[in-house]
Amino acid sequence: MTTDTNPMRFGSGQAVRRLEDEKLLAGAGRYTDDVAPAGQSWLCFVRSPYPHARLGAVDTAAARGMPGVLGVFTGADLDRAGVKPMPGAPFKRADGADCATPLRRVLALERVRFVGEPVAVVVAETLTQARDAAEAVMVDYEELPMVVDLRAATAEGAPLICDEGTGNIAAEMRHGSAEATAEAFAKASHVVALDVVNQRVVALTIEPRTVLAEFDPATDRITIRMSTQMPSGVRDSVCDAIGLAKDKVRVVVGDVGGGFGMKTGAYPEDIAVAYAARALQRPVKWVADRSEEFLTTSHGRDIEAKAELALDAQGKILGLRIRTHANVGAYATGTGVAIQLLIGPWVQTSVYDIQTIDFHFKAVLTNTAPTGAYRGAGRPEAIYTMERLMDEAARQTGIDRIELRRRNFIGPAQMPYKNPMQQVYDTGAFESVMDQALALADWQGFDARAAESKRQGRMRGLGIATFLEWTGGNVFEERVTVTVRADGVIEVFSAVNAMGQGIATTLAQLVVDAFGVPIEQVHIVLGDTDRGDGFGSAGSRSLFTGGSAVRIGAERTIEKGRELAAKELEVATADVEYAAGVFKVAGTDLKLDLFTLAGKQAEQQIFVDSTSTVSGPTWPNGCHITEIEIDPPTGEISVQTYASVNDVGRVVNPLIVRGQLEGGAVQGIGQALCERVVYDSETGQPLTGSLMDYAAPRADIIATMFRMEMDESTPCKNNPLGVKGVGELGTIGATPAVVNAVADALARNGLADRTPHLDMPLTPDRVWRLMQAA
C-alpha cells in the first residue's frame, strides 16, 4: 500500500505529473531561441522562388555592402570550401543501379529543384539587416519544366528531376512472390480492389527549427544549440559535410517544442549555420519563420496505392497485392525512401494472418520539398490501406466486419509470428484487444445513437481500425551514465531526447523503481553530445531502448554500490542487501546510506557508464473505434466519440501514455479531415504556405473526450521492462478509423457505391460533392 511518504508513489505504474511542465508553464523553458550569446549575429536564407530552374550568376555585391552585413555565402563558395553534398538514399533501381537522385547541396549549385531550396545565406548583426541584405542578392534563374504530382512525374515524356532517373523513378523494391499471389487471386471467391491516396501533410510543430552555432577559436570547436530529436546524428552530419573530426563539434539541445520525426537528422540549413559560424568566428543564429517551415521542412506521407485483397468464400484472406508510387520530392533521402519502400511494408499485413503477398513500391522524384519522417513514418500509410481494404471487403462479401477480422487475426498461439516481410512479432492478443475496445465503445448500442442522429437530420457512422506498428528504428543499443552524488542526487544522462513527450519524467520514474528514493532526488540530463552518444529519439524507441538502458544502468550502479559498501562494512558482497537508498548487512543492524557511501569515494560520487542492448523491436497494437456525424446539406463531418484499447506492454506512466495516444489521434484525425499540402500543378508553387492556407487540427476537432485505455496483459519480450512504443500509435489508428466511419455512414444511407472513392482530406466540399455524384 502506497502512502504519501512512500517514494514508490512516483515509480512505474503511477500517473506522475510531468516534471518538465512546471518550468514550461512558468515561462522558464529554455529553447534555442532563448539563448543569446554576446556578439550573436543573424542568418537569413535566399531561397528559390522557382520549382525548377538552372542557376546562373548569384550577385552578392550589393548585399555585402549593406549595413551590418558580416558575410554572404553561395553554393559556389561552399563548394570551393569543400563542403560536401548531403548523402543520398542507399537503395536501388529496378536494373540494380544505385538510387537516382540529384546531389543535394547545402546551398544549391547549378540547379534548384523546389520552391524554397536555399541558394545563398546572409549573416548580419541584426535579423532585419540580414533580411534586407538577402533581398538585395540578385540571382539569375533560367526556368525549366517541372512536375509536382505523381501522375505527371511518371507520365511519358515527363521532365526529369535527375538526369539518371528514367521516368523520375528514384528507387524501387519488390517483396513477396508475384506468382504465388497470382495463384491465390485466381482461386479467390472475392477480390476487393481500392485506389488509396495518402495525401502529403506538414509536420507542424509549435517551435520551428532553430539553430545557434558558436565557434571557439581557442579549441577550434563549434557548439551547436538546436531544436532536434537526434543530437549525435546532427553532429555527425555536420562533421561529415564540413570535414571536421567529431570531437570538434558539440550539439546541445534544451527544450524542444515538438518534433514528430521532422526534427530527426540534419538539414542543409543546420550545416549552413555551422559553416557560417566557423567562417566568421561569430555566434550565428537562424530561426525558421513559419513560411520557411511549410516550404522546406520534410513533409510526410504522399503516396498513391493500388491495393487488392483476395478472399475465399468464408472470408479468409488468401493474398494481398499492392502497387504504390511514393512522392519523395526533389531529393531522395535515405529516410524518405526507407519509410515507403521498406518500413511501411514491414507492417502492411498488420494483425492479420497473411503470408502470400506481392508488393511493388516505387519512390518518385518531383519538384517538391523532400519527404521524410512524420509521426508513424510509413506505418500510418500501410495501415490505412489495410484497414480500408478490410472494411470494403466486409461490404462487398456481406461478412460482418468484426467477424471478418476475427477470421483473419493472428492468434496468441501463433506467437512468435513471422510475417511475410520476415518481421517477427514477439507477443500480441489482437482479438482480445478488439473485444475490449468494442465494449468500451458500446459497439452494440450504436444503432440507437444512429437513429437519434437521423432524427436530427444527420448521418452517423461507426468506424474501426485494428492494427499494429513496428517501433525502434532498428537501433537497439543505448548508453547511459549514472552518477550517485554525495549531495543526495542521482544524475542519469541518456542520449534519448525530450521533444515534449515527457520522457524525462518516465526515465525518472524508472530510477525511482531501481533506487527506491524520492523522485526529487533524481536528475535526468538529456541532449548533450559531450556527455554521450546515442541514436536519439525516433521511431517510438525512447522508452524501450532508453528506458531499458536506464534500468540496466541503475542495476549495475547498485551492484557497484554493494561492492563498495561491502568494503566499507568489511563483509562479503553477497551479504549486502540494498533497499530504499540504504545498504544493509543481512541479519544485522549494520547499514550504510547510498549517498553517504558516495561521499566516502575519492571522487565524492559513484559513477557507472553503462551500455546495453534490447533484443529486438516492439510491436504495439490497438483497436480504435470512432463515431462521426455527417451534416448532409453541407458535407461537414464531426467526430462524436473516440474510444481505443491499446497494447503498449507495461505502462510506466498512464498519464503520459494517454497524452501520447490522444495527441497522436488528433494528428491522425487531422489528416483524415482537413490537412493537405497543395502544389499548383501549372506553376509548381505551394498553395498551402502558411497557417492561413493549411488547415491544422484544433482542440475542437472531437466533440467529446477521448477514452484511451491500455491492456498490459502481453508485455514485450524484447526488453527487460516489457514496454512497447506508444508515441505514434494514436496517429496510425485514427486516420483509418475516421475514414471507415465516414464510409460506414454513407453505406448505411444508401451510398455504399461511393465508399471506394473516399479521398482524404474529407473536407465538407469533397464529401458533399461525393454524396451528390450520380
What would the pLDDT profile of 21-47 be if each residue is shown by its tens digit?
999 999 999 999 999 999 999 999 999
Answer for the pair 205, 260: CB distance below 8 angstroms, yes or no.
yes
* Mean of pLDDT over the chain: 96
Residues 417-445: what's their mean pLDDT? Answer: 98
Torsion of CA 361, 363, 368, 370, to 10 degrees: 110
The answer to whether 494 touches 482, Cβ cutoff 8 Å, is no
Extended beta strands in 588-692, E state:
591-593, 605-613, 621-631, 636-647
pLDDT score at 774: 67
Report the alpha-carbon distance of residue 250 to residue 235 in Å, rounded: 7
Amino acid residing at 402 = I
Within-domain flag for 332: no
Show the cell assigned to 461: 457512422
Strands in 312-446 per DSSP E: 317-329, 357-365, 417-418, 424-425
Is residue 527 domain-shared with residue 627, that is, in the same domain? Answer: no
Share of the chain above pLDDT 90, in %: 93
Out of 345-349, 404-408, 471-475, least confident range: 471-475
d(C-alpha 727, C-alpha 226), whole Å: 22
pLDDT exceeds 90 at position 534? no
**Residue 693 placed within a domain:** yes
Percentage of residues in the chain with pLDDT exceeding 70?
Answer: 99
pLDDT at 754 over 80: yes
Residues 725 and 634 reside in one and the same domain: yes
Give the cell for residue 207.
Answer: 517551435
* pLDDT over 70 at 358, yes or no: yes
Residue 19 near residue 255 (C-beta atoms within 8 A): no
What local confidence, expressed as pLDDT, does residue 2 receive?
39
User: What pLDDT digit, counting tens, does each position of 227-267 carry?
Assistant: 999 999 999 999 999 999 999 999 999 999 999 999 999 99
Instruction: Among 584, 613, 642, identify where a domain stops.
Output: 613
Q: What value does the mean pLDDT take over residues 667-677?
A: 98
Q: What is the pLDDT of residues 674-703, one digit of tens each?
A: 999 999 999 999 999 999 999 999 988 988
Confidence check: pLDDT of 3 > 80: no
Buried b (16+ CB within 10 A) or exposed e, 508-526: bbbbbbbbbbbbebbbbeb
Query: What are the residues whose beta carbons fall under 8 Å from the beta carbon of 28, sequence distance 6 or more?
Result: none
Residue-wise DSSP of 682-738 = TT--BS--STTTS----GGGBSS-EEEEE--SS--SSSTT-B---TTHHHHHHHHHH
Same domain? For 721 and 578 the reply is no
436 with 571, same domain: the answer is no
Per-residue pLDDT tens for 577-605? Answer: 999 999 999 999 999 999 999 999 999 99
Confidence label for 59 from pLDDT (cuts 50, 70 and 90): very high
- Tell me what pLDDT residue 545 has: 93
> What separation in angstroms does the CA of 746 have from each of 459, 754, 766?
8, 7, 13
Task: Give the residue-averaged pLDDT of 219-230.
Answer: 97
Strand ranges, E, within 116-269: 118-124, 138-143, 169-176, 190-202, 210-216, 221-226, 249-252
Mean pLDDT of 442-458: 98
Is 159 part of any domain?
no
8 pLDDT band, cuts 50/70/90, is: confident
CA dihedral over 586, 485, 34, 264, signed as positive or negative: negative
Note whether 632 and 721 are same-domain residues.
Answer: yes
Residue 657 placed within a domain: yes
pLDDT at 211: 98
Residue-wise pLDDT for 314-356, tens only, equals 999 999 999 999 999 999 999 999 999 999 999 999 999 999 9
Prediction pTM value: 0.96
pLDDT interval class at 705 (50, 70, 90) = confident
Q: Cα separation of 724 and 552, whole Å?
A: 17
Residues 710 and 632 grouped into a single domain: yes
User: Read out DSSP for 379-398?
Assistant: HHHHHHHHHHHHHHHHHHH-
223 and 110 together in one domain: yes
Q: Are residues 399 and 460 in the same domain?
A: yes
In the predicted model, is pLDDT for residue 312 greater than 80? yes
- Helix (H) or strand (E) holding 656, with range, is helix 654-673
647 and 712 share one domain: yes
- 575 shares its domain with 643: no
* pLDDT given for residue 11 in this prediction: 86
Q: For residue 308, list its beta bridge partners.
A: 193, 321
Lowest mean pLDDT among 204-213, 269-278, 469-478: 469-478
End-to-end CA distance of the chain: 66
Residue 321 falls within a domain, yes or no? no
Domain assignment present for residue 754? The answer is yes
Rounded CA-CA distance 18/51 in Å is: 44
pLDDT at 1 over 50: no
Distance, in Å, from the CA atom of 144 to the CA atom of 111, rounded to the nearest integer, reads: 9
Cell numbers of 582, please?
540504504
User: Do 367 and 684 meet the contact criterion of CB atoms below 8 Å apart?
Assistant: yes
Q: How many CB atoms lie within 10 A of CB 3?
A: 7
**Is 522 inside a domain boundary?**
yes
Cell digits for 368? 517538391
Q: What are phi and psi of 425, to 5 degrees?
A: -85, 125
- Whether the per-residue pLDDT at 71 is higher than 90: the answer is yes
Give phi and psi for 309, each to the nearest 5.
-125, 130
Q: Is the pLDDT of residue 718 over 80?
A: yes
399 and 281 belong to one structural domain: no
583, 613, 643 — which closes off a domain? 613
| 299 located within any domain | no
Can you give the CATH number for the domain in which 254 is found? Answer: 3.90.1170.50
pLDDT band per the 50, 70, 90 thresholds, residue 365: very high
* Phi, psi dihedral angles at 574 (to 5 degrees): -65, -20
- Is the pLDDT assigned to residue 462 strictly greater than 80? yes
280 contacts 671 by C-beta, under 8 angstroms: no
Judged against a pLDDT cut of 70, whether residue 762 lies above it is answered with yes
Residue 577 CB-density burial (10 A; 0-12 exposed, 13-18 middle, 19+ buried): middle
Please give the tally of structural domains in the chain: 3
* Structural domain boundaries, residue 608: 7-30+477-613
Predicted local distance difference test score (pLDDT) of residue 176? 98
The pLDDT value given to residue 5:
62
Where does a domain end: 262, 286, 310?
Answer: 286
CATH of the domain at 444: 3.30.365.10
Burial class (CB in 10 A: 0-12, 13-18, 19+), 704: exposed
Integer Cα distance of 22 and 603 in angstroms:
32
Same domain, 591 and 693: no
